[in-house]
Structure 1
């Protein structure tokens, strides 16, 4: 099957130029249009029946590119996908869900499908979609150049980019989230606090979300004059026990902990209790975590949850505005909200 990228290569132009020639959405020179039309004729290219057509016809379909981990949707991905679908239906759009296999790719967007780029090309070449929402965007993402230059249709990324120029991103303000967790503990009288973060390799990759949480946590701790520490923690119960032991050995007055690693929240609480500390009487714990049922744990955890449903709805709103030619900001950061539960309490005087 001849693809739009084949036409672009034959005509010596970008795929986006071919899309503009077909849709009339942007003006192109007469000479360029002739080259595109000649390439279409020679190659026998047939636009997908639902794709943008001459005169700007639309399919009223949005493609949602979502990550697939361990063969199943995570609750946060499922919640976001449902929100996107609901918001799109209110605008009389359908949603095409494209699941991208997660093969242990890193911060640069590498994965089993060739850096995540091939999947986007398949969507652009063969899917009846006017525009794309790409979940799980990375700080440095191999898909970004394709979204910027080649697809020829609007896109919104759920996540943040180190270089947002030309992109449209929506994300939680993770820096403010880190600050909010510290503000909560400081307001309860805690003076020695720690951030238990993700695995060390997450920080070594330069993951933007994790780095922003550290900056927010540290800035708020310094502003309140708190003694603070930051410790990465692999996602295992044994690692959580080791981190708890190290924290209590190095900071015996520790009374407040922020956890930015969903997998070790309960193991860390178990480790503190096994070491003779009561949560929250002796140590308060705040989690910064994906959205989901916060009360499923043995002890309901005070938390700042990433608002998956709100992110999905906001992404659709931004995309609708782009499709209508309305300017939108490059980056939209949603303010964090903290929900107090049973794992935090005022510091008990020594």
Structure 2
């Protein structure tokens, strides 16, 4: 294993000079720094996290907190997590992935240990109880999600309210007047998941503005629960011709159930989904969808947390940043003009 002393000998400097170059504690000449960097590259030296933490008071690790609830769409969460990992490496940082739903205790443990220089939280709730821990520890943090009170934080998220509004506008423009919103299971709304509530609120506000009759029904996503949800919708509003689906698991069952009930998509019923393009393309007919960039979420979150780390290292107060990614409507074969009654 290559040691710091090996790097020093290769560069023709003392071990303390190499340490200063890595930690940034003292200024050294540009020529000396370049020699050290060349030696590190030539020898393949990788200082361990503990040594970096002792020398420079930085671990060069970011903790990414991703509680994997059973009702979340894991492929999307993992795509964002991979984007965070790639972006962090571009800054010379590694990522510590925490997937257990440990809540405030897990965040407290990581923040107080000094193991990570910063934290990125995912699956953010509107009243997220992990946020006070970040404030108390003065931990450089970025949120992939938007709480009710983002003060003292940097946040990046899809504009879910705008996504819900796009769905309502698209169906209204096609002449649909009775629309049902099939959402996530009730547990998601009980824990006030921001992505779920903001989408419904955006849809509801725009639907009211457009004079639409609408229902919002939670759905667990299984075939049986989707069948029950659809039966209740049609019992309450038999003239429903437009369906907005945010629960990815319910999309396939809904399409099958509509066909079984004698409703052809899109001639008799239009379906629009809030889901990734890849998922929308897998169904028959291909789904009209509202989606947003996922890779960019991870990239922006890393930039935000790095800016907060740098500000605190310089003795400055970090600037709060809020970035909302605009949604994109992609029209495919699952939506069409409302049928004449």
TM bracket, shorter-chain basis? 0.7 to 0.9
More helix by share: 2
1:1-350 residue pairs with structure 2 within 5 A?
48-51=50-53, 58-68=58-68, 74-90=74-90, 92-101=91-100, 111=101, 113=102, 116-126=103-113, 128-150=115-137, 152-289=138-275, 292-325=278-311, 328-350=319-341
Contact 1:190 1:347 in 2 (8 A): yes
Give the whole-Å Cα distance in 2 for the aligned partners of 1:83 and 1:192.
Answer: 39
Report the counterpart of residue 6 of structure 1 in structure 2. Answer: none
Count of paired positions: 289
CA contact (8 A) 2:182 2:244 kept: yes
Residue 86 of structure 1: CA displacement? Answer: 2.1
| Whole-angstrom CA distance in 2 between matches of 1:279 and 1:78 | 31
Contact 1:157–1:315, Cα closer than 8 Å, also in 2: yes
Q: CA RMSD in A?
A: 2.8
Deviation at 1:324, TM superposition (A): 3.2
Structure 1, unmatched stretches of 5+, are: 1-22, 25-46, 102-110
Given that residues 50 and 59 in structure 2 are in contact (C-alpha distance below 8 angstroms), is that contact kept between their aligned partners in structure 1? no
Alpha-carbon distance in structure 1 between the residues aligned to 2:319 and 2:147: 16
Deviations 1:148-181 (A, max 9, x none): 111x431101112122221222111211111011
Structure 2: gaps spanning 5 or more residues: 1-23, 26-48, 312-316
TM-aligned CA distance change 1:228 to 1:86, over 3 Å: same
Structure 1 residues 302, 52: CA separation in 2 closer, same or farther (over 3 Å shift)?
A: farther
Runs of 4+ in structure 1 deviating by more than 4 angstroms, as ranges, are 125-128
* 1:302-347 Cα distance to aligned partner (Å, 9 max, x none): 2123532121111012122223338544532221112222211222
Q: CA deviation at 1:259?
A: 1.0
TM-score, normalisation: structure 2: 0.75
Give the Å deviation of 1:48.
Answer: 4.2
Calculate the TM-score normalised by the size of structure 1. 0.74
